[in-house]
Amino acid sequence: MVDLKALRAEMDKRYKVIEISEQRTDLAFLECDKIDVPDAVAYLRDHEGYVHLSFITCVDRLEDEQFEIVYMLRNHEKKHDLGVKTKIDRKNPVMDSMHNHWAAVATYQRELREMFGIEFPGSPGVNRPFALESWAGPPPMRRDFDTRKYSEETYFPRPGRETHDPAEHMKKTQYPGRADL
């Protein structure tokens, strides 16, 4: 069991914690300002037992014009997961790189840059393609990315494809004599 109140008290002494909430007994989320995140994560790793970074992910909060980045940490001893969340400006999406905390972070940051267009200055190899070689379109995981429009503009349909509109087809096949009504 993790005493979230105690954890928060310790964190409050050092960083501005916006919110801490328990989702399940083995899962909690903590929200910090963008500027506090690298230090807060380092503190959790070095002093609170969250030695493992499970993954980094991002939520596109389009309506609020923000990206929410989530660092999922794990305390193996206490079998507890803690997500550290922060919100950054969607119009100027830059986040401090944390590759010095865990080397593997660089890979997640490469992925986030490709999928959401978030910049991580200084992160090793961050500008290399992650999964999308020679991708020229907008970052595809952004919610305003129009999959269909992109696909229509970028790819060509397989030759020989033909579709039919149900109402038009029924007009021709079911009431041809009155089709011009």
Partner 1 sequence: MSIKDIIAPFAVWKRAFEKPWTIKKPIDDRPGADRYRGFHKNDGDTCIGCGTCETICQNAAIDMVPVDGVQGDGGDSGLRPQIDYGRCCWCALCVDICTTGSLTMSNRYVWTDNDPDVYRFIPGYDSKEWDNAETGYSRPEGYSLLKEERVEMPALSVEEGLKSFVEMIKGYSAEQAVKEADRCVECGICVAECPAHMDIPGYIRAVREGNIDEGMRLLYETNPFPASCGRICTHRCEEVCSIGHNGDSVAIRWLKRYIADQVELEDYGKALPRPEENTGKKIAVIGAGPGGLTAAYYLRMLGHDVAVLEARKAGGGMLRYGIPEYRLPYDQLDKDIEYIRGLGVEIRYSINVDAESFKNLEKDYDALFFSTGLSDPYKLGIDGEDNPRVFGGLAVLDEVTAGKDPKLGKTVGVIGGGNVAMDAARTARRYGAEVTVLYRRRVVDMPADIEEIEEAAEEGITIIPQAIPLRVEDAADGKVGFVWNMAEMVDDPDGGRPRPQPIKGEIHTFVCDSLISAVGQGTNLPYLPEESESGVAVKRYKPVVDERGQTGNPGIFAGGDIVNSRKDAVSAIGDGHAAALSIDRFLMKKEA
Q: Which residues of this chain interact with partner 1, rule CB under 8 A?
A: 147-148, 151-152, 157-158, 161-171, 173-175, 177-178, 180-181
Tokens at 51, concatenated: 């030695």
How far apart, in whole angstroms, are the C-alpha atoms of residue 10 and residue 94?
A: 28
Secondary structure element (H or E) that encloses residue 81, with its range = strand 80-89
Cβ proximity to partner 1: between 13 and 148 the closer is 148
Cβ proximity to partner 1: between 136 and 167 the closer is 167
Tokens at 136, concatenated: 């020229």
Closest CA to 97 of 122, 126, 72, 114: 122
Minimum separation from the CB atom of position 171 to partner 1 (A): 7
Minimum separation from the CB atom of position 35 to partner 1 (A): 38
Minimum separation from the CB atom of position 178 to partner 1 (A): 5
How far apart, in whole angstroms, are the C-alpha atoms of residue 73 and residue 135?
A: 31
Interacting residues of 169 by C-beta distance below 8 A, sequence separation 6+: none
Cβ proximity to partner 1: between 5 and 161 the closer is 161
Minimum separation from the CB atom of position 179 to partner 1 (A): 8
Cβ proximity to partner 1: between 5 and 178 the closer is 178
